[in-house]
Structures are given as structure tokens and as C-alpha cells.
Amino acid sequence: MKKLIGAICCAAGLMFVGAAHADNKTLVIGMGSADAGKLDPHIASTTPDKGLLQYIFNGLVRLKPGQISPATIEPDLAESWAADPSGLEWTFHIRQGVQCHWGYGEFTAEDAAYSLKRAANKATSSYSNDFSSIASADPVDKYTLKITLKHPVAGFLGYVANINGGNMVCKKAAEEMGDGFSKKPIGTGPFMFAEYQPQQFVRLVANKQYFRGAPQLDEIMYRYIPSDSSRDLAFQSGELDMIYGKQDQSWVDRTKQLPGVKVVAMEPGELSTLFLNITRKPLDDIRVREAIAYAIDRKAIVAFKGAGSSREAVSVVPSGYLGTDEHAPLFPYDPVKAKQLLTEAGYPDGVTIKTIHTTLTGMETFIEAVQAQLKKSGINLDIQLVEHATYHSQIRKDLSPLVHYQAARFPIADVYLTQFYDSASIVGTPTAVTNFSHCNVADADIRAARGETDPVKQKEDWTRAQTEIIKAVCGVPVYEQLQLWAWKDTLDLGYDLKGSLNLAPPVTENTHFTQ
Amino acid sequence: MAAFLTRRIALAFVTLFSVLTLVFVIMRILPGDPAQLILGDQASREAIDALRVRLGLDQPIPTQYGRFLVHALRGDWGVSMVSGQSVLDEVLNVLPWTIELSLVSLALGVALGVPLGVWAAVRRNRWVDYAIRLASLAGLSFPAFVLAIILLFVFAIQLRWFPVISAHKGSFHAWTQSMALPALSLGLNAAAYITRITRSAVLEALSEDYIRTALAKGVPQRVVIWRHALGNAAIPIITVSGLYLSTLIGNSVLTEIVFSRPGLGKLIVGALSQRDYTLLEGMMVIYTFAVVLVNLLSDLAYGFADPRVTFG
């Protein structure tokens, strides 16, 4: 027996050699998911996939790295562009000499036209809706692209920027590979797809021919590590340089204690809204909906969620979007008024409202806090917890009278208002997106703003739409959750980070380690 | 032997078929739409419907089932709805990781559990026995993932002997480095189980007449214990170890997640949360097949361990 123990100890001793550490030319990122999804920029819709694809692709234009405001839009694959006075005809001048990855040739106006058509095709794109207003996109010559719109579009440049359907794919590669494109995405960005190991990582290598100059990093290892604790431990042991954080304040407080670490809460904030189905009893009575709005204490929710990683909602559109009414007339916290309204509506003994809710941790703690707040005003929230995929399916079948949804969108008020409050988007209809409340009170203003070319009038339309929605209590916006990340402080991103619409910090040609 | 095998294989087919049908039905009853999950929350109804047609989900369920069976009989498990890769490839990509971890853990469990169990039996009701019984009870009641986190914290963070991301391949050194902690975390649990079974099986054997006879004849105690007692106690130990191997394959999911290793467990959880019908169905066949195969092999192993067993 002693011999056996001795042998085991000896064998173990042979293995005791320090863990390998990455060199300072490889950036190792730890992402909070079990595996890659479809690595096609026109299909990818999850944080892990979007975060990775941004390193591989460019748009015609881009938001300045680290910024999320459409006001920072600057040239990307297009060097310059112009629109005619009607706002219907757009001409883009494509940068010359840009090379597609892995020898797929020069990126030209033909690739750009192909890419836009691909993004507009519902068979190949999750974002086909965004491009329904494009009448045609055709190359005029090798470096000139002409886009004709069916009607003017608010913030059109946002749709050809480097997110979602605006990412430019290389025609030859996409046509050659067909469905296989999502296994080997080919773009023009600073990093090229090199290797995928299922459930482990995607490895990207530097694109030495990148048109803004060769990246300073040689490689990005994008590792899939679903367990929050394992990601934290691997970051602590130095195996990871950058990690996707657990989305709560206690993680921020804990991670800040580590030496040599930078913890960041970045934009965009995902707005948590309680959507109230205005057609269902008892929510069809506006007094009941108002009671709910009065019963929610936004300040207390932010204190609960952590001031460093969340903030109060300002309107039914997230703060900072083009067109957000930053001083929208949201209902103040007034539990007495809430009770009074319920009594008037005929519920002096309280009322019960059902919600089907996901078990996703961050969202679940929120709805429990809301439940406690509503209870004080005599509103019983009956929470039916289901697993995340079930939640997504059931709320779209109109089965939940109150829907809690958390989302960020392209930062133009039109996108949020259209998807959540235009009656065309009501769930259960053929054109459904995510209008869970059956809201139809602001259609005229939302649609007017969409086609308005005068920015002042457009802003007025948007403000009116938000006021109408708040007054009708289609949704009760509560708080915004920022995106939490941490990385070694020896990593210099090479730009100022405020946020990223691709939900992970951009890695550019300038990103490098200082030691 | 041939008749025995034929019967067992026929039974295995019935089991496979029942499991397949059950999985097919449960998946279709479960709410959640694969097309919607693939396209994400900004996709329009139109795009989702178009994808449903492409995936064949617009067909009536009996039609889907019929097609599924025909494909299954041809050995065609289709392609994963989410990744677009063939189900077989998806599984084969990660299967070696799971098999490797399960086998090493089981070997560790047997290497630790059998000697400890014998030792405890021989020293029955002495302090060694108490200590081993207590340790195995603790090992059984301790959740594997908690042990996993503790192992990581001590050996990867404090002592820095092993990496946290236990999925390195290449050199033998890299392999042992990344195998050590996951195998230890599963292996200790297996060892606890095997210790208890070995102890009771050996105790029972030790009380038999032939043991007393052997000792009376002057056979050395070492030989009596390791050959006579353990030899006769082998059957229950093999049965339990065999059964435990299928449990290990199934239970490895938490270990895979905590140690960031690829594996079947992770694949199945991912497929379930994405409602990847085809992938799940394919995996269920493989799981069922593995359990059936392991049971068959341990039945056959009886024959080697005990000459009295015949396959009639």
C-alpha cells in the first residue's frame, strides 16, 4: 500500500510544472458561452458571435472604435459617400486595394453590392428587415457603389456600418462556400479566421495586408468558457487576458480587487422594460397599467443592481440614442397613488398579473425585485419561470400578459420604437417582431419620423411618440444594464473605449500589450 | 455464446428504437423554436418561417417522424440545425475527449478504490476501516463540481501546478497537465463508490469457508486476500465499475464546464438549450448505444472473472 501511494505521488510530481503563459503578441479572450454559433455576420445575433466577427469584418462605414454614437461614423471600406437632396440615392466610393482574407482578391463595389443583397435576403440573413427599404444596390464601376432607396431612411448610414447586416462579405468566398461560409468567414478586417476547435476556441491571425496597417498583435485566441467561475479563475491565473464578466455588481466589486486588472462597464446599456399587454384583462384598463408604473421604484432597482453597472431608464428608448427624449415624462414612484388607482379600477383587494419569465440569472433577480415592489401596492406578480428558449417562444406566442424584455438596438430611436411599439410588429402577426404590448398609439409619429429628412422635425416626431407610449403605459422602462468586461492593465486597446455595438471591445490594428 | 449475443443485440435495437421515439416526441412537445433561436431576437416572422421551411419544421409531426426514422435506418443522422455540420462530425469531434476522461477517471477510481476497499475489509472495525469508510462517504456526498472548483482554486490558482483551462493537447506533458484535475475530480468520486462496493464484497468473501480452509492450510494471508477473496468478490466490483462508466459519461457535463474541456455533456446541454433537434436525436442514439455496449461488455467480463458463468 505504501508503495502504491509512493508511486502515485511520484507520478503526480512529474506533472508539477507551472501552467503555460501566453506571449505578449497573442490576445486570449474568454467568452461566456459553450461554443460558437453560426459565424456568419449576416446571421449572428448573440453577443459571443457578434463580438468575434467584428475582428474579421468591416462595413462601408464604421462607428469610431470604442464609440456607439452614430455621430462618430467615419469611413471604413468606403472612403467617401454622398446622398442626393431627396435622400434616396447614395453613392459610395470604395477604397482601392483592399484585399479579402486568404487570397480571395480585391474588395470592390461588386462585393459591396453582393453583400448588401445577401443581407437583404431573408434566406441568408437575420437582418433582412433592416434592408427592406433598399430598392437597388449596384456597382457603377469597380470602386463606385450606388444604392437607391424606396423612401428616405432615418440614419441610413447606420445600416451600412460595421454591425449586423452592414458587415461586408467577399463575394467570391461567400458564393464558393455557400453554407460553409459560417465555418470559415472571409472578410477584410484586421484579423483573419484561422482555426476553430469545437467547444474550445476560434483562433484568428493578424491580416498583415490590412488596409489600415498590419496589426500589432499576431493572434487572437477567442476561448469559449461558459462557467463564470472558471473564466474568473483562468483570468486570475493569467491564462486569459480579457474576459466577459458575470453581469452583476458583485462580480465588479470582486474583480476590482485583483491586482493589474481593469474592470469596465461599457455601452450600450440594455434597457429592461415591462411590456403590458393593453388588450388583456385586467391590463386593458389604463388605471391598472398606471398603477404598475407608479409602483416601480427605479432608484431602488438601480441601487439593487449596482450603480457602477446599471442606471435608471430615461424613456421607452434607451438613453443616448439618436432621438431619445432624455427628459421623457416617466411616472414617478408613488405607491399610494398606485393603490388608489387600483381601487378606482375596481381592485381594492389587489390584482394578480401573470408573467412568463426566463431563469437567466440577472433577469430573474430583477423580476423578483419588481415583484416585491409591486406587492407593496397590492399588485401580485405571478412569475412563471421557464428556461430561456421556452421563454422566447412563449412570449412570442402572446402567452404572457406582462413581458420583461432586456435589449439594446442600433442607437437610433426608430429601431427601438419600430420593433417594440409599432403596431406592425405586434407578436402573433405575420410582420411580428417584438411588440409584446400590442401598442398602437404612436404609429403615426414613429412612421412620420422614419421618412422625415429634416432632423429637427424628426426629433419632434420621436419625442411625441415616446410621450404617447409612456402616457398609454404600453411599457414601463426600468433600468439599463451595462456590459461588464475585465482585462489586464498591460493591454492597450489603442483607442478610448466608451462602448461597442458589437457588445465586445473592438480589437484594432493598434491594440497591443505594453509589456 | 452466439445465441446470447444475438439476443442481447436484438434487445439493444428495441432499446435504441424506444429511446429514439421518446426523444423525438419530447423534443417536439417542448416549447421553443429552433428557427427563432438561430436567427435571434431581431429576426422578422417572415425570416423565421422561411428557415422553418428549410429545416423541414413546417411539416406535420408524423411526417417528420417518418422521415427521421428512414434517415436513422440508413445511418444518416443529418446535420445539426444550428451549426450546419453533420451530427456525426459534431459528436466525433468531442467524443474522444469524453471517452478519454471517463476511462482515466475510472482507472483512477479502480486503482484507488479496490486497494482501499480491500484494506478496509481486512482491517474491519479498526481505525483504518473507519477512516476509509468516512472518506468514501464524504467522497460520495460531495458534489463533483464543488470539488472541481476547490481543486482548481488550490492547484491552479494557489499552487499554480496545473492550468485552469484543462483542454491542452500535443505533448504527453500537456496532456497529463490538463487531464490531472478533471480526472481527479471525477476519479475521487468513482473511487469512493468502488471502495464501498469492494469492501462489502471482500468482507462477504472473507467469511466463506474456503477462506478459512486456505488459511488453515497455511496459504500466506496476502495470497488468500488478493487471490481467493478478491477473486471471488470480482463480479460485483466489475458490475458496479461498468455501470459507473456509463454514469461517468453522463455526469461529465459539469466537469467539462468547470474545467473548460470539450465533451459530449456540453454538446448535449448546448443542443438542448438551442433546441437543436437533429443533434440531440443523434446524441441520444450514441448515449443509449454506449450504455447498452458497456452493459454488454461487463456481462461478458463476468465470464472471464468467473468460470462458472456461461452464456446460454
Decide: A124 and A181 in contact? Cβ < 8 Å.
no
DSSP state of A182: G
Please tell me which residue of chain A has the smallest CA distance to B272.
A389
Half-sphere exposure of B107 (CA within 13 A, CB side): 10
Cα of A183 vs its chain's centroid, Å:
22
How far, in Å, CA of A270 to CA of A420, rounded? 14
Q: What is the pLDDT of residues B253-273, one digit of tens each?
A: 888 889 989 988 888 888 888
Q: Which of B43, B115, B174 minimises the CB distance to A4?
A: B115
Contact A501/B at CB under 8 A: no
Residues of A in contact with B258 (CB under 8 A): 227, 229-230
List Cβ neighbours of A395 (8 Å cut-off, separation of 6 or more): A356, A403, A405, A427, A436
Residues of B in contact with A225 (CB under 8 A): 165, 260
Question: Which is more confidently placed, A255 or B242?
Answer: A255
- pLDDT at residue B294 in the model: 78
Q: Min CA distance, A95 vs chain B (Å)? A: 31
How far, in Å, CA of B46 to CA of B156, rounded? 50
Q: Is A63 exposed, middle or buried (0-12, 13-18, 19+ CB in 10 A)?
A: buried
DSSP state of A316: S
Q: Min CA distance, B14 vs chain A (Å)? A: 31
Backbone angles phi, psi at B40, to 5 degrees: 90, 175
Decide: B131 and B254 in contact? Cβ < 8 Å.
no
How many Å is the maximal CA-CA distance in chain A? 89
Contact A178/B at CB under 8 A: no
Helices and strands of chain B, counted as H and E runs: 13, 0
Q: Count other C-beta atoms under 10 Å from residue A146's C-beta.
A: 16
Q: Is B304 exposed, middle or buried (0-12, 13-18, 19+ CB in 10 A)?
A: exposed
Q: Min CA distance, A335 vs chain B (Å)? A: 34
Long-range contacts of the stretch A222-225 (C-beta < 8 A, 24+): A222/A29, A222/A31, A222/A52, A223/A28, A223/A29, A223/A30, A223/A31, A223/B165, A223/B260, A224/A31, A224/A33, A224/A34, A224/A35, A224/A36, A224/A48, A224/A199, A224/A200, A224/B260, A225/A30, A225/A31, A225/A32, A225/B165, A225/B260
Contact A121/B at CB under 8 A: no
In order, the DSSP letters of A53-84 are HTTT---SEEEPTT---GGGEEESSEEEEEE-
Dig out the grid coordinates for B288 from the structure: 443509449
Please tell me which residue of chain B has the smallest CA distance to A37.
B83
How far, in Å, CA of B121 to CA of B128, rounded? 10
From chain A residues 122-141, the ones with a CB under 8 A of any chain B CB are: 122-123, 125-129
Residues of B in contact with A12 (CB under 8 A): 180
Q: Indicate whether B221 pLDDT > 90.
A: no
A134: enclosing H helix or E strand: strand A134-141
From chain B residues 17-56, the ones with a CB under 8 A of any chain A CB are: 30-33, 36-47, 50, 54
How far, in Å, CA of B150 to CA of A225, rounded? 18
The mean pLDDT value for B198-225 works out to 88
- Selected residue of A15, A46, A357 to mutate for chain B interface (largest B Cβ count, 10 A): A15
Q: What is chain B's mean pLDDT, rounded? A: 84
Residues of B in contact with A197 (CB under 8 A): 262
Half-sphere exposure of A452 (CA within 13 A, CB side): 18
How many Å is the maximal CA-CA distance in chain B? 86
Q: Min CA distance, B155 vs chain A (Å)? A: 10
How far, in Å, CA of A324 to CA of A320, rounded? 6
How far, in Å, CA of A286 to CA of B162, rounded? 61
How far, in Å, CA of B271 to CA of B80, rounded? 9
Question: Which is more confidently placed, B235 or A462?
Answer: A462
Q: Min CA distance, B262 vs chain A (Å)? A: 5
Cβ contacts below 8 Å, chain A against chain B, sum to 178
- pLDDT at residue B20 in the model: 82
From chain B residues 106-125, the ones with a CB under 8 A of any chain A CB are: 111, 115, 119
A36-48 per-residue burial string, b: 16 or more CB within 10 A, e: under 16: bbbbbbbbbbbbb
List Cβ neighbours of B284 (8 Å cut-off, separation of 6 or more): B19, B20, B23
Please tell me which residue of chain A has the smallest CA distance to B93.
A198
Question: Which is more confidently placed, B312 or A6?
Answer: B312
Decide: B118 and B198 in contact? Cβ < 8 Å.
yes
How far, in Å, CA of B198 to CA of B218, rounded? 25
From chain A residues 232-291, the ones with a CB under 8 A of any chain B CB are: 233-234, 236-237, 239-240
Backbone angles phi, psi at A92, to 5 degrees: -115, 130
Dig out the grid coordinates for A5 from the structure: 501511494
8 Å CB contact of B164 and A198 = no
How far, in Å, CA of B149 to CA of B168, rounded? 19
- pLDDT at residue B312 in the model: 55
Q: In one letter, which amino acid is B70?
A: V
From chain A residues 458-497, the ones with a CB under 8 A of any chain B CB are: none
Q: Which of B32, B160, B274 minimises the CB distance to A18?
A: B160
Residues of B in contact with A273 (CB under 8 A): none
In order, the DSSP letters of B25-91 are HHHHHS---HHHHHH-TT--HHHHHHHHHHHTTTS-HHHHHHHHHHHHHTT---B-TTT-SBHHHHH
A268: cis peptide before it, omega within 30°? yes
A282: cis peptide before it, omega within 30°? yes
Decide: A35 and A487 in contact? Cβ < 8 Å.
no
Contact A14/B at CB under 8 A: yes
- pLDDT at residue A202 in the model: 96
Decide: B292 and B15 in contact? Cβ < 8 Å.
yes
Give, in order, the Cα–Cα distances in Å from B252 to each of A90, A422, B79, B103, B105: 56, 47, 24, 12, 10
Decide: A27 and A221 in contact? Cβ < 8 Å.
yes
Which residue, among A504, A474, A503, has the nearest Cα to A487 in the 3D structure?
A504
How far, in Å, CA of B85 to CA of B11, rounded? 31
8 Å CB contact of A234 and B260 = yes
How far, in Å, CA of A194 to CA of A266, rounded? 29
Q: In one letter, which amino acid is B83?
A: S
- pLDDT at residue A137 in the model: 95
How far, in Å, CA of B50 to CA of B31, rounded? 19
Contact B266/A at CB under 8 A: yes
The mean pLDDT value for B291-312 works out to 74
Q: Indicate whether B180 pLDDT > 70.
A: yes
Residues of A in contact with B53 (CB under 8 A): none
- pLDDT at residue A236 in the model: 93
8 Å CB contact of B85 and A430 = no
pLDDT tens string for chain A (515 positions)?
444 444 444 444 444 444 444 568 999 999 998 888 889 999 888 889 999 999 999 999 999 999 998 889 999 999 999 999 888 999 999 999 999 999 999 999 999 999 999 999 988 888 888 898 899 999 999 999 999 999 888 788 999 999 999 999 999 999 999 888 988 999 999 999 999 988 899 999 999 999 999 999 999 999 999 889 999 999 999 999 999 998 888 899 999 999 999 999 999 999 999 999 999 989 999 999 999 999 999 999 999 999 889 999 999 999 999 999 999 999 999 999 999 999 999 999 999 999 999 988 789 999 999 999 999 999 999 999 998 888 988 999 899 999 999 999 888 999 999 999 999 999 988 888 899 999 999 999 999 998 888 889 999 999 999 999 999 999 999 999 999 999 999 999 999 999 999 989 999 999 999 98
The mean pLDDT value for B103-121 works out to 92
8 Å CB contact of A239 and B164 = yes
Give the β-pairing of A242-244 and A26-31. Answer: parallel
The SS3 assignment for A445 reads helix
The mean pLDDT value for B156-182 works out to 87
